[in-house]
Amino acid sequence: MLRRYSSTTRNESTGRLDGAEDLILGIRRLVRHSGYERDKIVSALLKQFLPSAGGTAWAGEAALRRDIAAARLDGRTIAYLVASAGGELQLAHERSVG
């Protein structure tokens, strides 16, 4: 049985995030996870927004927000990246717990 790992709560006043903010949240969760290994990420597109030297080299949400805005991604691409980040987070969790 496959279980989903989730540890993030949202504390926004609106309670809703747009696609880019969902992507930033997903990437933040992924790079901070103890099982994160960039070389095991499947999506080449997702890798473009991940730090090259591991989670400790992440420039932060502001830099990621600028990179996403500069890429001018459409809604379908953002949805794909959000789903990819979620799947990779699950795999990172599975790696960390064995």
Q: What is the DSSP string of 6-56?
A: -------SSS---HHHHHHHHHHHHHHSTT--GGG---HHHHTTS-TT-GG
* Average pLDDT value for the chain: 84
Query: Can you give the pTM of this predicted structure?
Result: 0.78
What is the 8-class DSSP label of residue 65? H
Tell me: pLDDT of 69 over 90. yes
Mean pLDDT, residues 25-45 taken together = 93
